[in-house]
Amino acid sequence: MEDLEEIWADFMAEEGLDIEDEIEHYLVQSRGMLDMNDGTHAQWVNEDLGVLLMFQEPELYHIVNAWDDAQEGNLVALASLMHWLEGFTEFLSRCITTRDDI
């Protein structure tokens, strides 16, 4: 039986490099794409961070209404917005940390 390294080398020589090139081409072509279905909600492209925000309809209304209420002096609504902003800021921090680790 052939050694695993020999089998792998034969595969790479015959078709593996073509597959590798195809994958690299796809990754380069899709590097700026944010996809709702695959969970890609943030992507760095050079110095720019693209962020895909997804909301369920009730969430949208909650945020917009809380903003309106906060502008009228409702501190509970303001606290709700600050809580959402805290989560978003943590998300952005993870994006920065992930980029710095690369």
This prediction has a pTM of 0.60
CB proximity list for 31: less than 8 A, separation 6 or greater: 43, 45
Instruction: Please tell me the predicted confidence (pLDDT) of residue 15.
Output: 83
Instruction: Please tell me the predicted confidence (pLDDT) of residue 10.
Output: 83
Q: Average pLDDT in the 94-99 region?
A: 86
Instruction: Please tell me the predicted confidence (pLDDT) of residue 39.
Output: 56
pLDDT one-digit tens code per residue, 46-92: 888 888 888 889 999 999 999 999 999 999 999 999 999 999 999 89
Please give the span between the terminal C-alpha atoms of the chain, in angstroms, as a whole number: 39
CB proximity list for 96: less than 8 A, separation 6 or greater: none
Instruction: Please tell me the predicted confidence (pLDDT) of residue 43.
Output: 82
pLDDT one-digit tens code per residue, 22-43: 877 776 666 666 666 665 578 8
Provide φ and ψ at 38, rounded to 5°.
-100, 0
CB proximity list for 14: less than 8 A, separation 6 or greater: none
Instruction: Please tell me the predicted confidence (pLDDT) of residue 53.
Output: 86
Beta strands in the chain (DSSP E): 42-45, 48-51
